[in-house]
Amino acid sequence: MASSDKIDSRGALIVLEGLDRCGKTSQCGRLHLYLEESGHAVELWRFPDRNTGVGQMISSYLANQTNLDDRAIHLLFSANRWEKRSLMESKLRSGTTLIVDRYSFSGVAFSSAKGLDVEWCKAPEAGLLAPDVVVYLDISPEVYNV
């Protein structure tokens, strides 16, 4: 196939999940650098995205400046992902691979750990882009406490 006949390929949606401070951000950065140096169009994303209107509300909550009901904050985290959905889809269609530090799995895990029903937690995520790969960084409590 001649290069002019090359079919544009979709980028991959790669998500890294795991406990706080388990190395997700470091590994995302390493993967981003590797793919970039290999000639791939790649971007590093992180949720929550604190640069959006909803993200700023989440940031205020995380800084203990705002007190919100557990259901309300869960829906805000989900809305933050929905804010970025169309841009993510556009980037992927253009061939850009997205490496995402946290995604909907974290939201479900955090909220269900607070006692919210798992199925209720999953419901607002229906329709978000499905990752091509999810990497879960699993570390032992001994390593986590170092």
pLDDT in tens, 57-81: 999 999 999 899 999 999 999 999 9
Does pLDDT of 130 surpass 80? yes
Is 0.85 topped by the overall pTM?
Answer: yes
Q: What is the per-residue pLDDT across 66-119, written as a single tens digit (0 to 9) for each?
A: 899 999 999 999 999 999 999 999 999 999 999 999 999 999 999 999 999 999
**∠ CA 47-16-79, rounded to 5°:** 25
Indicate the pLDDT class of residue 1, thresholds 50, 70 and 90. Answer: very low
Provide the token pair at 62: 């995380």
Half-sphere exposure of 68 (CA within 13 A, CB side): 19
Could you give all domains of the chain from N- to C-terminal order, each with its CATH number?
Answer: 26-131 (3.40.50.300)
Nearest to 19 by CA among 95, 126, 97, 113: 113
Rounded CA-CA distance 49/10 in Å is 23
Tokens of 67: 């007190």
Query: Does 48 sit behind a cis peptide bond, omega within 30 degrees of 0 on the bond before it?
Result: yes
